[in-house]
Amino acid sequence: MRRALALAVTPGVPLGPNPRVGCVLLDADGTTVAEGFHRGAGTPHAEAAALAEAGDAARGATAVVTLEPCNHTGRTGPCSEALVAAGVRRVVFAQPDTNPVAVGGAARLRDAGVDVVGEQLVDEAAAVNRAWTFAITHGRPFVTWKFATTLDGRSAATDGTSRWVSSRSARLDTHRLRALCDTMLVGTHTVEVDDPELTVRDEVDQPVAIQPLRAVMGLRELPGDRRIFNDRAETVHLRTRDPREALARLHELDRQHVFLEGGPTLARAFLAAGLVDEVVTYVAPMLLGAGSSAVGDLGITTITDALHLHVTDVTVLQGHDGEDTNVRLTMTPLPRRN
């Protein structure tokens, strides 16, 4: 199973919208007969790729798969049917497939007389497809809120300048994180004032090949000359102020991981609605004493009502000169206290 998990995360495999899956076929002696992994939407599933490589050697084999074989016909046929047709004797899978359009593969296999063992290394398999698993389970995309701040919690000076709050090393790291998401989300005010392009760029500031969807949330009309409407990536205008409605629309578009990069008003709306699942902040070793806050008024008037977060990672990002330094904190919000 660990080999199948390694296959699932083969470099170059897209993070979505389909789950990443690996498959290993073993003969009766436990020797590997064939391997396969899913290369993205529209390509053969991991089981089909392994079966094609194995040919007649698949008969009587054991298939070890990181996700329960699917039981539906989409761009490709049901993997459960393919395994039965190939004469596979036993199937061992890690993560159950709770996608309503694909569920039922294990039952179909058992009905055909195949020995099925499920839920092996479930946590490891779920981690391979964190956003996909979350979206299937919760019916909405996973939301990461990213912001940069000074030590005293300021995202910009009183004159609105903010360019050097985050260091170059932090900005490069931000583009790396952007590339792990399928949607960039900001509000209409950010588009009007900052005119961001919201693309993923590399170390020489050139756009990379695969770009996330650019989403703008808000009711106001936007000038057509804003950079977010250029041809470097797809853009959608979500004409709502309701975070739940915005996420529902993105879920309909098969989006699974939203990178929230808007200003303090948008951040406040998502936090107040309980729709932030991860917080990534870049803390700069500087003080401003005044200026814009990273988040708008949450209505918290006493320390006992504070929104607490659990720190999952602390990383120091330092440039070559030793001075271009930020600290990246990755956190998950804790449930509000009653």
Distance, CA of 63 to CA of 50 (rounded, Å)? 9
Q: Are residues 83 and 212 in the same domain?
A: no
Element (H or E) spanning 127, and its range?
helix 122-128
Among 129, 156, 177, the domain-final residue is: 129
Task: Give the per-residue pLDDT at 322.
Answer: 62
Task: Give the per-residue pLDDT at 155.
Answer: 87
Residue 180, domain member (yes or no): yes
Listed residue (332, 338, 327, 335) closest to 149, CA to CA: 327
Q: Are residues 42 and 90 in the same domain?
A: yes
Burial of 1 (0-12, 13-18, 19+ CB in 10 A): middle
Task: Give the per-residue pLDDT at 174.
Answer: 92
Among 94, 110, 129, the domain-final residue is: 129
CATH of the domain at 73: 3.40.140.10
Task: Give the per-residue pLDDT at 337.
Answer: 62
Owning domain of residue 211: 139-333
Element (H or E) spanning 47, and its range?
helix 46-54
Q: Decide if 144 contacts 280 (C-beta within 8 A).
A: yes
Distance, CA of 190 to CA of 289 (rounded, Å)? 23
Mean pLDDT within 245-272: 95
Beta-strand relationship, 115-117 and 90-95: parallel
Residue 148, domain member (yes or no): yes
Task: Give the per-residue pLDDT at 26.
Answer: 97
Q: Are residues 195 and 147 in the same domain?
A: yes
Distance, CA of 217 to CA of 210 (rounded, Å)? 22
CATH of the domain at 243: 3.40.430.10
Tens digit of pLDDT for each residue in 282-294?
999 989 988 888 8
Tens digit of pLDDT for each residue in 8-54?
999 988 888 899 999 999 999 999 999 999 998 889 999 999 999 99
Residue 146, domain member (yes or no): yes
Q: Are residues 235 and 107 in the same domain?
A: no
Distance, CA of 198 to CA of 229 (rounded, Å)? 10
Tens digit of pLDDT for each residue in 58-85?
999 999 999 999 988 777 779 999 999 9
Residue 208, domain member (yes or no): yes
Burial of 98 (0-12, 13-18, 19+ CB in 10 A): exposed
Tens digit of pLDDT for each residue in 124-148?
999 999 999 999 999 999 999 999 9
Task: Give the per-residue pLDDT at 204.
Answer: 61
Q: Are residues 160 and 103 in the same domain?
A: no
Q: Are residues 151 and 295 in the same domain?
A: yes
Q: Are residues 122 and 211 in the same domain?
A: no
Does the pLDDT value for residue 338 go beyond 60?
no
Return all residues near 297 (Cβ < 8 A) that are at least 6 apart: 268
Tokens of 213: 């969807």
Mean pLDDT within 215-241: 94
Q: Are residues 241 and 292 in the same domain?
A: yes
Task: Give the per-residue pLDDT at 323.
Answer: 65
Return all residues near 182 (Cβ < 8 A) that are at least 6 apart: 15, 16, 17, 131, 212, 213, 255, 256, 257
Residue 338, domain member (yes or no): no
Residue 134, domain member (yes or no): no
Q: What percent of the chain has pLDDT over 90?
A: 72
Residue 6, domain member (yes or no): yes
Q: Are residues 144 and 216 in the same domain?
A: yes
Q: How many CB atoms lie within 10 A of CB 19?
A: 26
Q: What percent of the chain has pLDDT over 70?
A: 97
10: three-class secondary structure by DSSP: coil
Among 76, 97, 129, the domain-final residue is: 129
Task: Give the per-residue pLDDT at 275.
Answer: 97
Mean pLDDT taken over the chain: 91
Annotated catalytic residues are 47
Listed residue (283, 188, 181) closest to 226, CA to CA: 188
pLDDT band at 219 (very low <50, low <70, confident <90, very high): very high
**Structural domains counted in the chain:** 2
Listed residue (336, 327, 223, 328) closest to 276, CA to CA: 336
What are 326's strand-pairing partners?
317
Task: Give the per-residue pLDDT at 9.
Answer: 95
pLDDT band at 266 (very low <50, low <70, confident <90, very high): very high
Does the pLDDT value for residue 216 go beyond 80?
yes
Mean pLDDT within 271-288: 94
Does the pLDDT value for residue 57 go beyond 80?
yes
Listed residue (132, 135, 3) closest to 65, CA to CA: 3
Residue 297, domain member (yes or no): yes
Q: Are residues 147 and 287 in the same domain?
A: yes
Q: Are residues 14 and 44 in the same domain?
A: yes
Task: Give the per-residue pLDDT at 42.
Answer: 87
Q: Are residues 166 and 87 in the same domain?
A: no
Q: Which amino acid does the sequence have at 9?
A: V
Does the pLDDT value for residue 156 go beyond 90?
no
